[in-house]
Amino acid sequence: MAKVTFDTDVCKGCGLCVSVCPKQVLGLSKTVINKKGHYPAEMLDEKNCIGCASCAIMCPDCVITVER
Amino acid sequence: MVVFEKPKSLTDAQFHYCPGCTHGIIHRLVAEAIDETGVEGRAVGVAPVGCAVMAYNYFACDMVEAAHGRAPAVATGLKRAMPENIVFTYQGDGDLASIGMAETVHSAARNENITVIFVNNAIYGMTGGQMAPTSLPGQVTQTSPYGRDVKTAGYPIKICEILAALDGPEYIARVAVNNVKNVRNAKKVIKKAFENQIEGKGFSLVEVVSSCPTNWGMTPVKALEWVEEKMIPYYPLGVYKDRSAQEVEA
Amino acid sequence: MAEKVLMKGNEAIAEAAIRAGCRHYFGYPITPQTELAAYMAKRMPKIGGVFLQAESEIAAINMVYGVSAAGKRVMTSSSSPGVSLKQEGISYIAGADLPALIVNVERGGPGLGGIQPSQSDYFQATKGGGHGDYHLIVLTPASVQEMADLTALAFDLSDKYRLPSMLLADGTIGQMMEPVVLPEESCGTVEKPWAVTGTQMKRKHNIVNSLYLVPEELEKTNFERFERYKEIEANEARCEEFMTSDADVVVVAFGIAARVSKNAVVAAREQGIKAGLIRPITVWPFPKKAIEEAAKHVKGFVCAELSMGQMIEDVRLACGCSKPVLGAIRVGGMIPTPEEVLAKIKEAEGGNA
C-alpha cells in the first residue's frame, strides 16, 4: 500500500506531478487554496496509487513524500 | 518505508522560483548527489547571478554568491584554497555561456577539479525574459521580439560541444529534466559529476536542458513539451566527453 | 639583526607576502608589475603554494574572492588598466566583507596610457573604485623596504577589519633595487569563523554574499561597514612627517613623489625657507590630523603628485580649505623634479598661491 503525502502549503499548483502520474490518481484541488494562494496538488484515488514516486521526481518544490 | 523525500542537503527554505520552474528539480538532484556521496560537510557551492542567485539559501552546505559569470573563478579559488572540499557551481545560460564564457572555457581547459551545473533554459529569467546565448533561432523573447534572427543576433552557443573539443575537461554531459525518465538519468549524471571530483578526476560539467514557463509564456506542462519538441533536438542529450571511460576503452 | 638583501620593489612585495602567510597568488601579465608574478611563479610551487595565471584580471580577482571566502590569505597584483578590470571583483569582496590584498603598481593613463610610473589611480583607490559605498585600506610605499613592510601590514589590517587592502605603488618603486630587511614569518592570528570551509556537519552553513534584496537590510550592512571605516580612520591613518613643526610650507607627497619632495624640502631649508613634508603612508584613511595640525601654521601646501592633482582635494578637505594648496604635477610617466617642487614651495611661501 503506497502512501503519498503533500506538504500542501509549499505547493505552487504547477501540475507537473498530475501530468506525469501513470495512474492518473492526482489532481489539483478545486476547493482548497493554500497559504501561497495556489490550488495545491492532492490525492484523488489513493487505492490505485502504485507508489512509483514519479510525481515526487517531477515536483520542483519537494512537496511530495512517498512511502511504500 | 520512505521511497522518496526531500534530501537533507536542502535547507527548510522554500524555493522562490515560479510555479513549475525546473530549477527546483535541479536543486534537488544536486542535493541528492551531495547526500548520496556523503560530502555535505565538505561541500561548498557557488551561486550565480540569475534566477538561482539565492541558491545559497537553499543548499545546506557552505555557500558563496559570485558575480555574474564568475562562479568558476570563485570555485577555482575555493578549491585551490581547500582541495579536500567538494566545490560546485550552479549557473544559468546567461551567466555561464555569455558573460562568464571565458571563466567557463578556462576552468575547463585547466581541468579544474570542480563540478559545474549548467542550467540551460534558453532565456534570461530573472531580468524578465531576454534573449540568452542559448535562445533558439526564431525564439521570441523580450529582446528578440520578432524571433531570434540569426543574421543579426547570431546562433545559439552549444556549450557541451565546445567544451568537449578541449583536451582539459574530464566529463561533459547534457541531460534534461522534462520527464521522469530524463530526471532519473540527470540524477545519475549529476552524481557522477560529483564522484569525478571526489576521485580527483577534474572538471565535470553537466548541462541541464530545462524550462522557463513564465518567460516562455506557457503552462509548466506545455513548457516541458516545448523542451522535448524544440530544445532537445537543438541540444542533443548525451555524454560528450568522459575521459576516464574513453581511456578504459582505449 | 636580520640580514639585508638587495631586491627589486616588486619582488620585495612578493617575498613579504609569502612571509605573511600568503600561499595563493592569482594574476594576469601586465607591465610594470611583471617581476612580482614571476617571483610568485618561481616560489609558490616550492613552498606548497598556488600560483595561477588567470585568463583575465576579472578571473584573477574572483579567484582571490574564492580563496578569501575560504579564510586564507590571498593576493593579486596588476597595474592600472588591469586594476580597472578588477573593480567589479573588488566591490564584491568589499561587499562580502572579505580580506584580500590587491597590489597596483601604477602606470600612466587613462586608457592604455603608458607603461611609465604614475599615481593617477588615486581617486580610484581612495574613493572606492567600483560600484557601491565602500573603501579599501590604501597603503603607499616609498621605498623597497616599505614595499615589504606595508605588504605585511596590509594583510594584518585587512584581516582585522575585514575589508580588502591595496598597496598603491608606482612603477619606479616597483622596478627600483634597494637593500631590504624582510619581515619575520607570520600568518596572522585573526579567527575567521565566517569562512566557507565546509560545515563538517558541526555548524549551520556559512554564506559569503553581498546580495541583500531587502532595502532595510542592505542599508544596515552599509551603516555597519561605515562604523568599521570610522574605526579605521581613527586608528590606522599613517604618515611620516619631516621638518613640519615650524614649517611655513608643507609639501604633501607619497611614493616616489615623496622622495623627490624630501630633496626639495632640504634644498628649501638650505635657502632659508621653512619647508616641511607630510608623506602619507595611508591615503585611505587619509592622514587628516597631520594636515590639520600643519594648517595651523603654514602659509600653504604643495601637493607633489604624478597625477593631475587628485590628492589636492583631500588636502583641501583636511585643512577645511583654510590654506592654499598648490600642485607640483607631472603626468604621463613623468616625475616632478626637486627643482619643480622647490619652485612651488617658493610660490607658496611668497604667498602667491
Q: pLDDT (tens digit, 9 = 90+) per residue, B11-68?
A: 999 999 999 999 999 999 999 999 999 999 999 999 999 999 999 999 999 999 999 9
User: Would the CB atoms of C74 and B42 count as touching at under 8 Å?
Assistant: no
Nearest to C306 by CA among C264, C352, C259: C259
- Does the CB of B108 have a partner CB in chain C at under 8 Å? no
The set of chains that have 3 or more CB pairs under 8 A with C is B
Q: pLDDT (tens digit, 9 = 90+) per residue, C223-265?
A: 999 999 999 999 999 999 999 999 999 999 999 999 999 999 9
Confidence of residue C2 (pLDDT cuts 50, 70, 90): confident
Which three cell numbers mark C297?
Answer: 601654521
Number of domains in chain C: 2
What is the SS3 assignment for C130? coil
Question: CATH number of B23-249: 3.90.870.40, 1.10.3210.10, 3.40.50.970, 3.30.300.30?
Answer: 3.40.50.970
Answer whether residue A19 shows pLDDT above 80. yes
| pLDDT over 90 percentage in chain B | 98
- Does the CB of B250 have a partner CB in chain A at under 8 Å? no
User: Would the CB atoms of B54 and C205 count as touching at under 8 Å?
Assistant: no
Question: How far is B36 from chain C, CA to nearest CA, in Å?
Answer: 15
Interchain contact B/C (3 or more Cβ pairs less than 8 Å)? yes
- Does the CB of B224 have a partner CB in chain A at under 8 Å? yes
Would you say the pTM of this structure is higher than 0.90? yes
Domain range enclosing A36? 3-67
Number of domains in chain A: 1
Do C167 and C141 form a contact (C-beta atoms < 8 A)?
A: yes
Do A39 and A32 form a contact (C-beta atoms < 8 A)?
A: yes
Answer whether residue C352 shows pLDDT above 60. no
Do B129 and B142 form a contact (C-beta atoms < 8 A)?
A: yes
- Does the CB of A67 have a partner CB in chain B at under 8 Å? yes
Interval C32-56 mean pLDDT: 97
Interchain contact B/A (3 or more Cβ pairs less than 8 Å)? yes
Helices C34-43 and C9-19, interaxial angle, to 10°?
Answer: 40
Which of A10, A12, A16 has the highest number of chain B CBs within 10 A, making it the mutation to test binding with B? A16
From chain A, the residues in CB contact with B17 under 8 A are 60-61
DSSP codes joined into one string, B71-82:
HHHHHHHHHHH-
Least confident of B180-194, C34-48, C179-193, C241-255: C179-193
Q: What is the C-alpha separation between C98 and B135, in angstroms, rounded?
A: 36
From chain A, the residues in CB contact with B220 under 8 A are 14-16
- Does the CB of C64 have a partner CB in chain B at under 8 Å? yes
Average model confidence (pLDDT) across chain C: 97
Domain segments of chain B: what residues?
23-249
Give the start-end residues of each E strand in C1-64.
4-8, 24-27, 50-53
Q: What is the pLDDT of residue C1?
A: 57
User: Would the CB atoms of B62 and C205 count as touching at under 8 Å?
Assistant: yes
CA within 13 Å, CB half, B108 = 28
- Domain end position, chosen among C236, C256, C289: C236
Task: State the alpha helices, DSSP H only, in chain A.
Answer: 16-20, 54-58
Q: Are residues C92 and C71 in the same domain?
A: yes
Confidence of residue C353 (pLDDT cuts 50, 70, 90): very low
Domain range enclosing C56? 4-236
Q: What is the C-alpha separation between C149 and C17, in angstroms, rounded?
A: 10
Q: What is the pLDDT of residue B60?
A: 98
Q: pLDDT (tens digit, 9 = 90+) per residue, C312-341?
A: 999 999 999 999 999 999 999 999 999 999
**CA geometry: angle C285, C288, C293, nearest 5 deg:** 155
Q: Residue C213 maps to which CATH number?
A: 3.40.50.970
Answer whether residue A1 shows pLDDT above 90. no
Q: Residue A44 maps to which CATH number?
A: 3.30.70.20
Q: Are residues C100 and C216 in the same domain?
A: yes
Q: Which residues contact C293 (CB under 8 A, 6 or more apart)?
A: C244
Q: Which residues contact C286 (CB under 8 A, 6 or more apart)?
A: C126, C237, C280, C314, C318
How does DSSP classify residue B49? S
Distance between first and last Cα of chain C = 47
- Does the CB of C69 have a partner CB in chain B at under 8 Å? yes
- What values do phi and psi take at B41, rounded to 5? -65, -20
Q: Are residues C197 and C345 in the same domain?
A: no
Q: Which helix (H) or strand (E) is C139 found in, with range?
A: strand C137-139
Neighbours of B159 (CB within 10 A): 26
Q: Are residues C163 and C112 in the same domain?
A: yes
- Domain end position, chosen among C236, C263, C283: C236
Do B55 and B27 form a contact (C-beta atoms < 8 A)?
A: yes
Ramachandran assignment for C80, one of left (phi > 0), alpha (psi -120 to 50 degrees), beta (any other):
alpha
- Does the CB of C24 have a partner CB in chain B at under 8 Å? yes
Q: What is the C-alpha separation between B161 and B102, in angstroms, rounded?
A: 16
Interval B129-140 mean pLDDT: 98
Interval B71-90 mean pLDDT: 98
User: Would the CB atoms of A16 and B184 count as touching at under 8 Å?
Assistant: no
Q: What is the pLDDT of residue C3?
A: 87
